[in-house]
């Protein structure tokens, strides 16, 4: 009996071993395809892998590839690479901390101006939506009351609209502009 050490036919990475028995009628052992009689070296199967060098008929031990996520330096788009050694120059392993980060001199730097504009627009959109939902109907109702000759009712409804507007502004303050 002999031991055959098997490797993947594409990657040549060690796959396991099996006992080979002599087949009746043959003088030699028959080696299975994509196998070798060369014993595999000792290696840490958690962190390393053995790869068979067919040309030199020996095993090579190398670090296992570890899948990583890298981020495009211009778009921040994440991309998964099979190993850190495969990450190209237009990507970095450093994760941006905000959507407003820009890659400058080997680090992510937050563009405070763009961040402020986005935060301002977000508050503006919330305010406009609440104004349309709450204030505009009150003002329309006040105008109708005024046209009907109910000035006191119109003023009361307008006061409600102004109070709602003040509450909306208090609950949704403008962001603080960045300092230089």
Per-residue pLDDT tens digits of the chain, which is 180 residues long = 999 999 999 999 999 999 999 998 888 999 999 999 999 999 998 889 999 999 999 999 999 888 999 999 999 999 999 888 889 999 999 999 999 999 999 999 999 999 999 999 999 999 999 999 999 999 999 999 999 999 999 999 999 999 999 999 999 999 999 886
| Residue 85 is assigned to a structural domain of this protein | yes
User: Distances from the Cα of 163 to the Cαs of 39, 53, 131, 151, in angstroms?
Assistant: 84, 80, 11, 18
Residue 176 domain-assigned (yes or no): no
Q: For residue 74, what are its two tokens?
A: 């211009």
| 117 and 97 co-located in one domain | no
Q: Give the domain extent around 86.
A: 68-110
Q: Are residues 140 and 105 in the same domain?
A: no
Task: Mark whether 73 and 59 lie in a shared domain.
Answer: no
Distances (CA, A) of 12 to 8, 21, 32, 62, 64: 5, 24, 14, 12, 13
Whether 129 maps to a domain, the answer reads yes
């Amino acid at each position: 009996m002999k031991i055959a050490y098997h490797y993947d036919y594409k990657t040549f990475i060690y796959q396991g071993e099996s006992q080979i028995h002599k087949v009746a009628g043959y003088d030699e052992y028959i080696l299975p395809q994509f196998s070798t009689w060369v014993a595999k070296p000792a290696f840490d199967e958690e962190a390393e892998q053995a790869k068979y060098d067919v040309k030199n008929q020996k095993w090579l031990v190398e670090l296992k590839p570890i899948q990583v996520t890298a981020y495009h330096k211009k778009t921040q788009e994440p991309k998964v690479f099979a190993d850190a050694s495969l990450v190209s120059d237009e990507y970095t392993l450093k994760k941006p901390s905000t959507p407003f980060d820009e890659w400058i001199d080997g680090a992510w730097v937050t563009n405070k101006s763009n961040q402020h504009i986005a935060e301002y627009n977000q508050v503006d959109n919330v305010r406009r939506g609440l104004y349309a939902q709450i204030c505009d109907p009150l003002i329309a109702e006040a105008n109708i009351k005024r046209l009907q000759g109910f000035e006191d009712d119109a003023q009361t409804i307008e006061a409600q609209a102004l109070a709602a507007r003040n509450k909306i502004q208090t609950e949704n303050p403008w962001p603080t502009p960045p300092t230089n």
